[in-house]
Structure 1
Amino acid sequence: MTEAVLILAIVLCFGGMFSLWRGWRHLVARRPLRAGGRGSIGLILLAVATLASLAALDLAGYQRLTAERPVAVIRFAAAGPATYTARLTTAFGETASYRLLGQDWRLDARVLKWRAWATLLGFEPLYQLRRLSGRYASVADAQSRPHTVYAIGHDRGLDVWMWARRLHLSFVDAVYGSSVYLPMAAGAEYRVSLGPTGLIARPENEAARQAVAGWR
């Protein structure tokens, strides 16, 4: 849809410029009536092209942000009472294992979203996974029992996320943290995606679906 509107805007723009050029030729040839007609048509076409461009810009923002992007797959194996081994595989194929304590797992990420005109130029929402941690279902356990937290992302070169927050860059629409948590279970597998509102996790097998169904 966005591409079609953008192509229409480009065609109208060229048509408007051509009509203005023809109008100029008529004006030079001392044909004012034809010059005025061609010029009016050219201005109308350029105005419609501008409106079509603005529509394409707005549509680009919506379409880019409605599609989910795969982020990671996480699998669990029991390793003791309220203890699990989590095997995390990112969308880039990186795999690592972590020992988590508690009943739930939690994944944190940083997210950068661009303004509509930037998405039209090809910029897509960016994310960086930051932490994987265990989470206790009980507040009392969370206050008294040991916690497991792992850094799974690090800054490489310029910290764009930090500078985007500090400088309020015009092409950045939103900078925020996003997290998702679900229950751990032996053999459970979850798939994590990045959607319009942040991270989304869904059970991928029966063990995970049963864990979510009995979650409290």
Structure 2
Amino acid sequence: MRILLAEDDALLASRLQQLLEEAGYLVLHAAEGGLAEELGQIEDIAAAVVDLGLPGLDGLSVIERWRQAGRGFPVLVLTARARWHDKLAGFDAGADDYLTKPFQPEELLLRLRALIRRSAGHASPRLQCGPLLLDVNAARVELDGEPLHLSPQEYRILSYFMHHPDVVISRSRLGEHVYDAGFDPDSNTLDVLIGRIRRKLGSELIHTHRGQGFRLSAQP
């Protein structure tokens, strides 16, 4: 199974390539955006790991060109940019998951495996969970075919849930991905926002796991 690794940091790329090869993957490495874009167009790959700060053609443009050409393999983004609007730009371009540097290489491997399992080789800008539909490109959410009106923060939370369905997400992890500034884990702001989303959904799609976090799922 082939993985495209688009990373210009030679040391990090070498470590990730070794990790992926030890896990049984065949790795195609590109150190600049133009080559990454070309390999993603012509090679039969199961997934791609893409650094947004690639020289030449940046990572966002690479992903956008793949999606415009109909390339549907899942994409895991790597970046040093930690603010939410940078992450949202990655998702809007067609990425499926996001890791902020620095990170544990083993986490990258786990997330990559999960993406490959979930996608079965088909990534889509439209995500669905039961009656919920998220159009990533249009930043629009529908419930039972009707537009769901959300505040920007509510959209950020629900969008993150939709990108990680059936996964228990801790309050700290969710808060870090939702807020540009530091997240205060003792604040009840997140609980208030999730309460508002639940009322708008009108169904038990967001489940609370006491002491662990929250999970979006159409299953009880």
State the TM-score bracket (shorter-chain normalisation): under 0.3
TM-score, reference length from structure 1? 0.21
Please identify the structure whose Cα radius of gyration is greater: 1
TM-score, reference length from structure 2? 0.21
Q: Which has the higher contact order (CA 8 A, sep 6+)?
A: 1
Name whichever structure is richer in strand by fraction: 1
